[in-house]
Amino acid sequence: MANEDFLIGANDEHGVNPPTQGKRTPEMPGLNRQIYENEFNRAAKNKFIEACMRQDFSVYDVKPELQDISISQRVARINAQNLTLLVTFAYNAYGETFNNASGVETFYSPLNPKATQSRNLAENLYAELVQGTTQNGRGVKTLDVGVLSNVNCTSALIEAGFMTNLREAQLMINPLFQTEVGEEACHGVCNFLGVNYIPRNNLNNYPLLRNGDRGNFVYLLQFILNQYGYNLSVDGIFGSRTLSAVRDFQSNNSLIVDGLVGNNTWKTLLNLPPYPLLREGSRGAYVTFLQKLLESNLFPVGNIDGIFGSRTLNAVREYQESKGLTVDGLVGNNTWSALTTLD
């Protein structure tokens, strides 16, 4: 089978607009707010979708909406698609206050009509998550919920951590952790299907794209651009609207505005290293990435807007001081190194 013949379902539990009641952390110190479970689930799902597109899998997003959708509705959607398999992203909790419960676990249902395959998928996901993330392993377990037991396809669920553990609550909004969970889930899917996994961080894996191109990397480009606020149809066709979005992204990130998606544009879209020197007044995708990393370290920046303003500057300085770095407000190699290390 060609990779495109596999139809991979991606599902994120709960909702964020409006937020699902009760599915949130205790109040986070420093941030003075709670983190909703779906802030992680949706982001990790999207990174999983990106990874699957890179493999040339066909992908079905079970719940593209921001709001919660009932399990029965999601099951009906899933069962209408003839999916090869389904992966659901979730986050665990224990009690209502911060405690020491921690770790990643995966689930399948013995009631699923493809229970043996579902267990195998859960085991493959778990193996990659334990190896690729910083999480302790809690094992592969059984659970009878609709997206596992009532669907007609192989199905597994990931609980990537505990939102009632302070460190793991911080990881929920860390873009590196969100990406790692999505990537390792895709890696596990590749192992389950017996296909080679194409890594994310090697720019040699990304082709030069231009107006008129078609295919899985155009799907990927459009999907990523939409995460930056562009409203593109993800159709795999590099047409005039995609060209306009690429040019706008390049302009907003101080790239050559040529409409060609080469190494520098891919690198910026993916927030890959080496990271640029950032200072007050900087703008663009890497500033957004910086702001998310600062928030995940409990240094609030106000709006995550891709603009390095006074609040981001204060957060950088406070972070540098907390890490014993030179407090200059410049985000160079040492600050990037500290921020991008997942303890």
Among left, alpha and beta (phi > 0; psi -120 to 50; other), residue 259 is left
Structural domains in the chain plus CATH codes: 3-193 (3.40.630.40), 204-269 (1.10.101.10), 285-339 (1.10.101.10)
What is the predicted pLDDT for the residue at 343? 77
Residue 109 tokens read as 């249902």
Whole-model pTM: value is: 0.98
Question: What are the φ and ψ backbone dihedral angles of 106, each rounded to 5 degrees?
Answer: -125, 155
Is the pLDDT assigned to residue 192 strictly greater than 80? yes
Q: What is the pLDDT of residues 229-269, one digit of tens each?
A: 999 999 999 999 999 999 999 999 999 999 999 999 999 99
Residue 260 tokens read as 């060609």
**Can you tell me the distance from the alpha carbon of 104 to that of 131, in angstroms, rounded to the nearest whole number?**
11
Residue 138, H or E segment: strand 137-142
Q: What is the pLDDT of residues 88-97, one digit of tens each?
A: 999 999 999 9
| CB of 118 closer than 8 Å to CB of 154 | yes
pLDDT band at residue 21, thresholds of 50, 70 and 90? confident
Residue 224, H or E segment: helix 216-227
Residue 141 tokens read as 């377990």
What is the predicted pLDDT for the residue at 101? 98
What sign has the CA pseudo-torsion 321, 325, 329, 335?
negative
> Across all residues in the chain, what is the average pLDDT?
97
The runs of H, that is alpha helices, within 94-162 are 115-132, 146-149
**Can you tell me the distance from the alpha carbon of 331 to that of 310, in angstroms, rounded to the nearest whole number?**
14
**Of 16-30, 274-288, 305-319, minimum mean pLDDT range:** 16-30
> Would you say how long the chain is, in residues?
343
Written as one letter, the residue type at 303 is: N
**Can you tell me the distance from the alpha carbon of 140 to that of 232, in angstroms, rounded to the nearest whole number?**
38
